[in-house]
Structure 1
Amino acid sequence: MHLETIAALLSKRAGFDAKIIGDRKIARAVETRRVACHLPDLEAYLKTLQSSPQEFNELVEHIVVPETWFFRDRKPFDFLVNFVRAEWLLKPGAAKLRVLSIPCSTGEEPYSIAIALLEAGLPVNRFSIDAVDISQQALAKAQRAIYGRNSFRGEDWVDRNRYFQAVEDKYTVCPIVRNAVNFRQGNVLNEMVVIQPKYDIIFCRNLLIYLEDSACQQILNTLHSLLASQGLLFVGASETGKVVSDRFSYLRQSFTFAYRKVDSIQPPVLSSQSILSQSVSPPSLVTSFKQPKLKPAVSQATIPAIQLPERKAAVNTQAHSEPSLRSQAATPSVNTLPDSDLQQAKQLADAGHLVAAIDCCKNYLETHCTNAEAYTLLGTLYQATMNYAQAERCLQKALYLQPNAYEALMHLALLKESRGDAIAAKRLWQRIQKLQPTS
C-alpha cells in the first residue's frame, strides 16, 4: 500500500509511469533511500517523502538512470548544422538562435549542441543554450564538464581535440563550449514558464517514454508554448507516437525525429531547396514486407531479418575546413548475449511456456536494464500473450536503447497496425525500409 502511494506521488510530481519504470525498480530505490534516511519502515519514509522536497529529489536520483553520450544518434546534429546553414543564417534579421535542452542529464547533449552550432559557423555571440534537468547530481557533473570514455561512444562526430582537452584518462570540455551553456535545475511539469523571446529549437529526447500519457501531453503543451513560431522540436526515436499532429508537423528526415511547431496560421510552404521540406512521396509500406502471423511460441528464428548496410568508414574531419555530415549507417542488430536467464527465456518461449519466459526476461532485466535484445524479446512475448500495452512499452524501450534495432521496429510497426494507429505504423515502416541496402 505504501509503495503504491509513493508511486502515485512520483506520478503526480514528476509524471513517472510506474508500469514503465517497474514496480521492482521503484521498490529498490525506495528501500535504498529508507535505509539511507535511517527510518524504521515504509510508513515513516512515506511521511518524510511527502514533507521533504529534498528527499523527493534524492529518490528521483535513484530512479532516473542517465543514459547519454556526446552526439547521441548523430543524425539530429547533422540536421542541426544543415538547418543553421540552409535556413537560419539566411533568415532576414536573425539575431540570436535560442536553444533549450531538457532534460539535459549530465551535459553531453547541450555541449554537443554547442559544438554543432560552432561547426555550422555561428559565433558564440549568435546563440544561447539553456540546459535544464530535475537531477542535482546530473547537473553537478554537467557543470564539472569532465567525461570518461563512456561519454564518447562510437565514431567521433568531429575532431575531439578541437573542443576537448585530455586530462589523464578523461576529457574536459573547452571553455568556449562550456561557457555557451547555461545549466539550471527545473521540472518541466511545474516549473517551466513561457519566456520571451521564445526558443527556436528544443531538444527533449528520451523523457516522454518514461511518463504517463497525461504528463506527456502536459509537457508537449509546455514545449509548444516555449517554442517560437516555426520552432523545431527534437524527440527520441521511440517517442514519435506521443507527439500530437495538430500541434507539431513531422519533418521527413531519416533518423532525426524532428517536428516543426504548428502555429494557428498555416505556415508558408518552404522552398524545395530547404533542408526542412521534403516533397518526396512516402515509400510503399507493404511492397517489401509481409506481416508475419504471431504464434504463441516466439522464437528469434521466426523474426524476419533485414540485411543491414555495412557501416561506412569514418571520415577524417581534420582534412576538411568544415565537418563532414556523414550518413548514419544502420546500427547492427541487437547483440546476442550468452547470459543464462536470456537463453532460458528463449528456450521457454520456443517451448510455448510464455509466462515462464516472461519471468525469465524480467529477472534478466533486473541486472541488465540497458539491454535492447532483452526488451525486444519481452515485447514479443507480451505481444504473443495479447498484453499489447506492455508489449508496446518494452519495444519502445528497446528502440530507446538502440534506435535502429530492426526486430523491435518490425514488431512495433505490426503492433501499431493491429491497434489501428496507422500514422505511427507508417512512420515505423518508413524507418524499417531505410535500413535496407539500396541496390
Structure 2
Amino acid sequence: MTTEIQPGGNLRLPTAGTVLIDIRWDPQRPGGQEVEACAFLLDGERRIGGDDDFVFYNNPSTRGGAVALSGSGAHRTLSVDPQALPDAVARVAICLSLLGETNFAQASLIEMRLRDAAGSEFALFRPATSGMAEAALILGEVYRYQGLWKFRAIAQGFAGGLGPLAEHFGVDIADDEPASSASPAQPPATPASAPRAAPALTKAPATGVMPTGSETRHSDAGDLSYEILYRDAYALARVDLPRGRRLKAQGDAMVAMSPTIAVEGTLSGGLLGGLGRLLSGESLFLQTLSAGRGPGAVYLAPASPGDIAAVEVRPGDGLVIQRGGFLACTEGVEVGTQVQNIAEGLFSGEGFFVLKAHGEGLVLLESFGAIHELNLAVGEQKIVDNGHLVAWSQAMHYDLELGSRGLVAAFTSGEKIVCRFHGPGRILVQTRQPQQFGRWISQLLPG
C-alpha cells in the first residue's frame, strides 16, 4: 500500500535493506532548462563533511555505495542504504535543481516514489508546483531519529538555484580563477533603465546593526528550520515555513513575512480559550500564519526587551508557561489555559491562569531579559523566585513557599513567594522581572 505524504510529513523507513527513491518531473526541461538531481550527506549540524558527501552526475556514488544516483532524461533513482552510512552521517538531503534562469513553477509535475529493496512502493510525495519561485529544491531527506531511519517530505529551497543550496550545506562553490598576465576585461556598463530584481525576504543577514550571533537550526519535532537573532536583549525569531505549513503566534508578534504567507486572526480554543489566554497575560486572538502559496519566512518579536527560547515539546512532555511567556508555536502544538489552585493563584502574584502547551512541535517563548535553562535530575530540587519563571516541564511537581522566614521578612525582602521544583525536568527562567524593573523606574520619576 502506498502512503501519500504531504509537505512536512514523515514516515518510518524499512528497518533493513536499500531504499530506492524514484524522482520524476515533467516536462523534461521546464522553461527550456536542464534539471539535475543530487544528494548531500550531512552531519548532525546539517553540514557536509567533504567532497565525497556530495552525490551528483559527476560523482554518482559515495561511501562505498551507501548512496548512489542513476537515471537519465526526466527520471533519476537514488538508492540509499541507511545501515551502510557512517555514524557521522545524520541525514541525506535529496535535492533537485534547475541549471538556468527559471523556476520550478514551469514544471507541471514533480514526484518522488519510495520503494523497498524488493521493489514494492510504499510512499509517494507529489508537491504542488504552481507558484513555486524556487530554482533549487530540497525535496526530502532520509534522517536518523532515535536510532531509526525515517523519510521527511520538504519541498522548499532557494530561488538562486544550486549555488545557494550548496552553500546552505557548507559546500564551497567558489571557483579558483586562473592567473593571467592579460588585463582583465572591463564589464559592459549597466543600462540605467535595466530593471533591478526585488530582494526576496528569506533570511536576515549575518550581521546587522548588532551582531546576531546566531545560526539556522532545525526542529525535528516542529519539522522546520528557524533562527533566533539578536539574542538576550532584542531577540528576533525567523521561522522558515514549508509550503502548506502554519504557525500560531501572539496577535502582535509578527514583524515581517514573505509574500507567500497569509495571516488570519483566530480565537483559538473558542471564546473560553481566548478569555483564558487573556487572563493568563496573552492576547485574546492568535495569529495563524500560513504558507499556502509557497514556502516563506516569518519574523517574530516579543513585546518587551528580552530573549526568545525555542523549546521542543512531544507527547507526554508538555510545558507550563507563565504569564506573558508565550510567543508562537507550530501547528502540532495545542496551547490552552490551566487553572492553578487557590493558593498558587492568590500568592504567586501571577494569577489563577497559566498556559499549557502540549502535543508535538516547536514552541517559542519570550522573556524580560535573557532566558536561562535549569535541568533537574531525578530527586534534585531547585528554588526559583516566582517572578523569574518563564516555563517548566508539565510533569514537574512544585511547592509554593515564602522566600524568607516570616511574612514580614518575606515581603520586606522583596522575595515574596518562591517555587520549590522537584526533578526530573527543565525550568526556564528570565534574568529580569518586569515588576522589579517597574519599581526601579518609578524611583527615578519626578514627583
The answer, yes or no, to whether TM exceeds 0.5 is no
Q: More helix by proportion, 1 or 2?
A: 1
Q: Between the two structures, name the one with larger relative contact order (CA 8 Å, sep ≥ 6).
A: 1
Relative to the length of structure 1, the TM-score reads 0.24
More strand as a share of residues: 2
Larger radius of gyration between Structure 1 and Structure 2: 2
TM-score by length of 2: 0.23
